[in-house]
Amino acid sequence: MTTPVAINCVGGLREDAVADLSAGTAVEFSGRLLTLRDASAARLARAIDEGAPLPVSLKGQVLYAVGPSPPKPGQVVGSAGPTTTARMARFLPALFAAGVRGVIGKGELHGADMDAFVRHGAIYFAAVGGMGALLAKQITAATVLAYEDLGPEALYALDVAAFPAVVIIDAAGANFHESARKAWRRV
């Protein structure tokens, strides 16, 4: 088993860091992730399309498709497992054009949904669904940045340490889901 690649996303993810990642690589994020859900994605994309100011710079950011549940006493957040990225795919081209470098979510992406990542040199990372309680333990702070009226779909900043994910679609367009499936079929 290989050691995960450490990714420091304080101040955003650098372009050279993205270029060095390949599909199937295990990573661990430290620093700040921004959250993304259906409603916040729609608001951000609408603001971009209208040329309105954004509540936060998206340049170099990694967005985590999550709607954290309310924390219990002593917790930073409650469960914080990934949500299905394909539901937000229609908003991703605008977010990538505004500087987003990567998205963490769950589920497969194909065709036009995958093409947006390739066209913008962005990375699709997957976190393991069903592990929301464990993933929440890697979150050291959670702050609502915008759209507070959306509750768990608000735009949060999450400070994370050793937050695990896997590169699914790399900047060159290699898709780990597809290559793993082909290798499995050969067995």
Q: What local confidence, expressed as pLDDT, does residue 167 receive?
A: 97
pLDDT higher than threshold 90 for residue 16: no
pLDDT at res. 165 = 97
Mean pLDDT of the chain: 92
State the Cα–Cα distance between residues 41 and 89, nearest whole angstrom. Answer: 9
Percentage of the chain lying above the pLDDT 90 cut? 79
* Res 1: pLDDT: 58
Q: Which residue has the higher pLDDT, 110 or 122?
A: 122
How remote is the C-alpha of 4 from its chain's centroid? 17
Q: What is the pLDDT of residue 187?
A: 59
Over residues 114-130, mean pLDDT: 92
